[in-house]
Amino acid sequence: MDMTMMRLRREDPRVVGSFRLHRRLGAGGMGVVYLGSDRKGQRVALKVIRPDLAEDQEFRSRFAREVSAARRIRGGCTARLVAADLEAERPWFATQYVPGPSLHDKVAEEGPLTAAEVAAVGAALSEGLVAVHEAGVVHRDLKPSNILLSPKGPRIIDFGIAWATGASTLTHVGTAVGSPGFLAPEQVRGAAVTPATDVFALGATLSYAATGDSPFGHGSSEVMLYRVVHEEAHLRGVPDALAPLVRACLAKDPEERPSTLQLSLRLKEIAARETQHPGSTRGSGQREVIERPTGRLAEQYAEQATQQRPVTPAPRGRRRPEAAAP
């Protein structure tokens, strides 16, 4: 979703619920996101469903799921839900406004992040996904443009196709919903979606953050989906300190991927080491061996979880336009 602020258009509403709208923040497949404020001046990102979709009960249900997911998730990993009206002629909901660029825009404008920054962002996102999954939600469309880099840390946004664990599938069998290049193989095949699906997407996202490119290259949707299922990810340019863990996230078999808790712990270790000794594992010609087990073998290590907060990278480079959560 494009998060560049734009003036309101003639057809845009000026008031929705108790919120006055000021600018367009972007438009996506489901609707338009506006910058708004309440009577106290609190800024919100307010998403209004498209008029044509408002008449479609399937899309209304999908929108309701997004609101339901936002209500269940606790913690600072997402934008807090402020208000919603699912029965309105055009359903809408408002979330806390999150200032900051998307991960996609930051990398596109300033280049790849350092190993320490990638690890720090990844640790925070992994910890955030723990909260998402504990709420019984699978995001299903995690990607760089759905991650905002706020001053308080990264925030995961756009739960428009999120899937409640245990609920019936949201798509027809064999139909993939999400973004090619960040979809997991099981999504492409129309198989069961689990928290491991988000781990795959996080691995692809971290690869992008480190290199500025998708680990599955470029091409049509069909080509990208084929590569996701049948070809190994290309991690050239991913720092040696991160490559083994990213590769584990991108395992074709969901059972072989690390859990979000394991990722959070491991990435915190890498972030701390790379901050103290930048590039200490680069140029050796050999990949660092993962010192912690992943996938099904990591249950004991997961029990060693600490209460450390994730390290977040300090902002650098020129100031960028603000963005908001839909």
Residue 69 is predicted with a pLDDT of 76
Query: Is 198 one of the catalytic residues?
Result: no
Which residue's structure tokens are 């996202």? 205
Per residue of the chain (326 residues), give pLDDT as tens.
444 578 999 999 999 999 999 999 988 777 899 999 999 999 999 999 888 889 998 888 877 877 887 788 877 788 888 999 999 999 999 998 999 999 999 999 999 999 999 999 999 999 999 999 998 889 989 999 999 999 999 999 887 555 544 443 333 333 344 578 899 999 999 999 999 999 999 999 999 999 999 999 999 999 999 999 999 999 999 999 999 999 999 999 999 999 999 999 999 999 999 999 876 544 333 333 333 444 433 443 334 333 333 334 444 444 444 444 44
Cα-trace Rg, the chain: 19
β partners of residue 26: 33
Under CATH, which architecture does the 6-96 domain have?
A: 2-Layer Sandwich (3.30)
Q: What is the number of H-type helices and E-type strands within the chain?
A: 10, 11
Residue 101: closest CA among 318, 322, 316, 313: 322
Residue 93: closest CA among 34, 46, 140, 145: 46
Residue 252 is predicted with a pLDDT of 98
Catalytic residue among 52, 56, 141, 198: 141
Identify the helix (H) or strand (E) that includes residue 48.
strand 43-49
Alpha-carbon gap, residue 125 to 260, rounded angstroms? 9
What is the topology classification, in CATH, of domain 103-302? Transferase(Phosphotransferase); domain 1 (1.10.510)
Residue 179 is predicted with a pLDDT of 78
Taking residue 93's Cβ as centre, other Cβ atoms within 10 Å add up to: 26
* The two three-digit tokens of residue 238, written as one number: 């991913």
Could you give the count of Cα atoms lying within 13 Å of 180 in the half-sphere of its Cβ?
A: 13
Residue 279 is predicted with a pLDDT of 66
Domains of the chain: which residue ranges?
Answer: 6-96, 103-302
Residue 15 is predicted with a pLDDT of 97
Residue 4 is predicted with a pLDDT of 56
Question: Helix/strand/coil (H, E, C) string of 32-44?
Answer: EEEEEECCCCCEE
